Chain A
Amino acid sequence: MTGQPRGWTVVCPLTRLDPGRGVAALVDGVQVALFRTAADLFAIDNRDPVTDAYVLSRGIVGSRGGAPTVASPLHKQTYDLRTGDCLDLPGVAVRWHEVRCRAGLVEVRLRKEA
């Protein structure tokens, strides 16, 4: 990724997202996994760092403790949707991205790697 600050990309209408489920989106050429929970929107990388497959958007959404989570559909490692941290493997994480809803449209802005 280049160092340019990026803008917001409109991805889809909010109604296209089912609560408790994710979808994949292409934002500036990056595969993003976008989730809608009962109360919130989250975006993280779609790539599962453990298997290298682009599948996180297809995991089951839930919670652990108070954290909203998604579990990789391949080997079930669970990630905190807010931070991208893997809650099962120390040191493993995916990037999280900014997401918001404006006028019924979901928008995503990529964050550079920390």
Chain B
Amino acid sequence: MRKGRLVVIGNGMVGQRFVDALRARDSDDRWRVTVLGEEPQPAYDRVRLSALFDGVGAAELNLHTPDPRVRLRLGAAVTAIDRTRRVVTTTADEHPYDALVLATGSYPFVPPIDGIGLPGVFTYRTLDDLAAIRAHARGRRRGAVIGGGLLGLEAANALRLLGLATSVVEFAPRLMPVQVDTAGGALLRRYVEELGVACRLGVATSALHPGPDGVVAQLELADGGRVDADLVVVAAGIRPRDELARAAGLPLGSRGGVLVDRAGRTADERIWAVGECAAVDGTCHGLVAPGYAMAETVADRLVGGAATVPDADTATKLKLLGVDVASFGDAHGTTPGCLDVTFTDPATRVYAKLVLSDDAQTLLGGVLVGDADAYPTLRASVGQALPAAPLALLAPAGAGTGVAALPGSTQVCSCNAVTRADLDAAIAGGAADVPALKAGTRAGTSCGSCVPMLRQLLDAAGVGQPRGLCEHFEVSRQELFDLIRVRGIRTFSSLIAEHGRGDGCDICKPVVASILASLGTGHLLDGEQASLQDTNDHFLANLQRDGSYSVVPRIPGGEITPEKLIVLGEVARDFALYTKITGAQRIDLLGARVEQLPQIWRRLVNAGFESGHAYGKALRTVKSCVGSTWCRYGVQDSVGLAIVLELRYRGLRAPHKIKAAVSGCARECAEARGKDFGIIATDAGWNLYLGGNGGFRPRHADLFATDLTTEALVRLVDRFLMYYIRTADRLQRTAAWIEAMDGGLEHLSAVIVDDSLGLCAELDAAMARHVGSYSDEWRDVLEDPARLSRFTSFVNAPEVPDPSIRFTEERGQRVPAGTRETENRQPVGLGTPRVRR
């Protein structure tokens, strides 16, 4: 049998899904497939496009798997279809077809406003669009989005993440006018404004004006108002790309789009259309789920099946803005005779509406604002008998009761038409976690909103899932970091209420405290944050075995003036502290009681000392050798660099402690290769080594980059540290982190040198924020009576020192006395024979 020639125009989400579906069904190899895509990249997950601004790399969005049976031509825009000769033409060549599938998607609608063509005005649709936005945002301060729909709000969040003060201008009187009703819209507006996004609703943009540099600078509104913005994103809707079909004389829908029947076929029996460019029975859908359903249908038809396109699922959920909004089914209650159940809780600021059939037995649709936990279950229940009483479904715990109670025919994943029965079969077949379920059934691979239900089904089946951080959080530290960062969560209580269970513990609380500190959320002893700190961070000192604390002031690079050294001596003498020089070139003062800590620190701070963070999972020290200033071998100023680095990274909270060192020549007197980052001077600059540590399992750091200038070195270390902070597990030192990384050091280099994930600008910005916002934690405590009040021995007897802390003398200094261990302790034997008497 001669193979048919199948040409697909467009390699977007639906075009790709169509090819995958066809390949999966075409077991007789009936079709030879050619895909012509206009974009330079193969298909990617457009739905998750905005994740690029949250540190997800473009590579992670890829949807395309190479298939030898499919010819893919990228950068190949089709310019015409000749239906008589049955060929399509690109700018370069011609492709004959026996069957043709149009999957050309949509283009952003750009309203004809004065000044809309100015530099600095962007659309929001492709990888290239986002790259251009990111590049333009650098150094800009204010952004505006024209359009307050789903896409506009997503774009507004993106601008926010790029550090721009952002406004949204929407012509309709409420945000997300298509999805939410008036009451939901009002609540949504409040949430969005609280995120710092200004909303101008019910007003059109009438013109854009440039600044002196010719770049857009201001929006003029129809009511005469003005909005300053040096970056503008237009998100005013999309239009189907039906130009090829139109030119080829194919009938279109009344509002555009290639007209197709329920089989997905156009008026020409050899031509089909799928995705956003297709108007099924005259209606286009701007969502991926209906497109996927069309792709499956047409694939089935092309191998001789009789599938038809089901009614479109237009459920949507707002992603990324940290505001829960969802709508599904007949959200606006257009079904004749339907009933509304609404639920408003001003205290928790939740608004929910369910639309029920006239007999109140069947769920038709709904709107949720403020808490969309119930969304996955509700969405899956549309068209079914209500699984519980309406209010029970909406109550916070309602989501949890959901999926296990639903019948097997329920579509759990609407994007990919996966039913509960499909998932149960996959679990029975050995799928033991969410990734395995995703791989086996495709459920959860598109919008992701059904993933919580996948977890519930695994739970219900009693299948073990990978352990989260602790019993309170099912996610890893990295996932927690992203949740907190992306959703803008600022307190432990809201985090655990929304994403965890119980009251927390000594594992998750310090992790969250550290993440909050890394994200720069104020002093660690303020408000609820104080209760998360472990005792070291809580008293900004290191707890010792006897309940006393040690004090370690920062001595950057190990360099100290005689005057400061004298102050340390005097303080140690006056408070009778045991004094020891540490391995990290500073001085440890031990044996301080809680109530003495502020007194000790007052004197130290007055003498110009600051916290050394010896108590924190944070940068400890940057040790140095004496370097070229004095040493006759030295080739660079190792002390100077160590001080610069220590001051730059001081106070930086991390998954574990971070140590560093700088040596002034290859003789390596500072033992830099035993550190998380070590630097060794060369004649031409600096060599950077990453991932070393001492301790229980010593490891030498690996050479990462050579002969760097100081500036280049600092940039690499900035990114290394920030990437570590974002992605490492709890208590994972850099060595273990690099080892666990897929691709190890090479991957790290791709990320922080070549910017393969497009993350560097964000990492740099995060470090700049850290450096700019540093302030000495101890000074901040001393200046604040509320913080100081924690440093008492007994809440009802602050004047009584803890009687259990007692000392004895050893080699002329005080050491703990009275604990079991000290009483039993033997003097250290010197290896000389005991003298018998």
Contacts and interface: CB of A to CB of B under 8 A. Distances in A.
Q: Do A and B bind each other?
A: yes
B795 A23 contact: yes
Given A53-B819, A54-B804, A63 B502 contact: yes
A15 B502 CA distance: 24
B505 A63 contact: yes
Contact of B506 (A24, A38, A66, A71): A71
A54 to B, nearest CB: 4
Nearest to A16: B795
Given A11-B796, A63-B503, A68-B503, A74 B543 contact: yes
B497 to A, nearest CB: 11
A29 B798 CA distance: 14
Contacts of B800: 26
A55 B543 contact: yes
A65 B793 CA distance: 31
B111 to A, nearest CB: 51
B796 A12 contact: yes
Nearest to B533: A60
Contacts, number: 106
B502 A62 contact: yes
A73 B471 contact: no
B502 A60 contact: no
Contacts of A47: 804
A50 to B, nearest CB: 10
A30 B90 CA distance: 88
Nearest to A55: B547
**Dominant secondary structure of chain A at its interface with chain B:** strand
Contacts of B802: 24, 31, 54
A19 B531 contact: yes
Contact of B547 (A37, A54, A62): A54
Given A58-B543, A62-B509, A73-B535, A38 B804 contact: no
Contacts of A84: none
A25 B802 CA distance: 10
Given A24-B793, A53-B547, A71-B505, A60 B534 contact: yes
B696 to A, nearest CB: 17
A102 to B, nearest CB: 15
A59 B796 contact: no
B509 A11 contact: no
Contacts of B793: 24
Interface string B811-835: 0000000011000000000000000
Contacts of A59: 506, 535
Given A51-B819, A74-B545, A78-B505, A18 B794 contact: no
A51 B535 contact: no
A52 interface: yes
Contact of B505 (A26, A38, A58, A62): A62
Contact of B504 (A17, A62, A78): A62
A112 interface: no
Contacts of A51: 545, 819
A46 B622 CA distance: 38
A94 interface: no
B794 A24 contact: yes
B37 interface: no
A86 interface: no
Contacts of B510: 60
B506 A76 contact: yes
Interface residues of B, number: 35
Contacts of B509: 60, 62
Interface string A53-94: 111001111111110110101101010000000000000000
Contacts of B114: none
B538 interface: yes
A18 B505 contact: no
Which of B506, B539, B546, B795 has the most chain A CB atoms closer than 10 A to its own CB? B795
A34 interface: yes
B530 A58 contact: no
Which of B508, B536, B547, B819 has the most chain A CB atoms closer than 10 A to its own CB? B547
B795 A12 contact: yes
A26 B794 CA distance: 6
B524 to A, nearest CB: 13
B797 interface: yes
A21 interface: yes
Which of B471, B531, B800 has the most chain A CB atoms closer than 10 A to its own CB? B531
Contacts of A68: 503
Contacts of A11: 795-796
Given A54-B804, A60-B510, A20 B545 contact: no
Contacts of B805: 54
Contact of A26 (B472, B502, B532, B797): B797
B29 interface: no
B363 to A, nearest CB: 33
B60 interface: no
B422 to A, nearest CB: 34
A25 B538 CA distance: 18
Contacts of B797: 25-26
A3 B819 CA distance: 27
B789 to A, nearest CB: 8
B358 interface: no
B528 interface: yes
Nearest to B539: A58
Contacts of B819: 51-53
A62 B535 contact: no
A21 B531 contact: yes
B523 to A, nearest CB: 14
Nearest to A46: B804
Nearest to A27: B796
Nearest to A51: B545
A16 B819 CA distance: 31
A100 B679 CA distance: 58
A38 B546 CA distance: 30
A21 to B, nearest CB: 4
A52 B820 contact: yes
Nearest to B534: A60
Contact of B795 (A20, A24, A37, A63): A24
Would you list the 8 A-B pairs with minimal beta carbon distance, nearest first? A20-B531, A62-B505, A71-B506, A63-B503, A73-B535, A60-B506, A53-B547, A58-B535
Given A24-B802, A59-B506, 18 more contacts: A11-B795, A19-B528, A23-B794, A24-B794, A25-B795, A25-B796, A26-B794, A26-B797, A27-B796, A31-B802, A52-B820, A55-B535, A58-B535, A58-B543, A60-B504, A60-B505, A63-B505, A69-B505
22 contacts: A9-B796, A12-B796, A19-B528, A20-B532, A23-B794, A24-B794, A25-B796, A25-B797, A26-B797, A34-B795, A37-B503, A47-B804, A51-B545, A53-B819, A54-B804, A55-B547, A60-B510, A60-B532, A64-B505, A69-B505, A71-B506, A73-B534
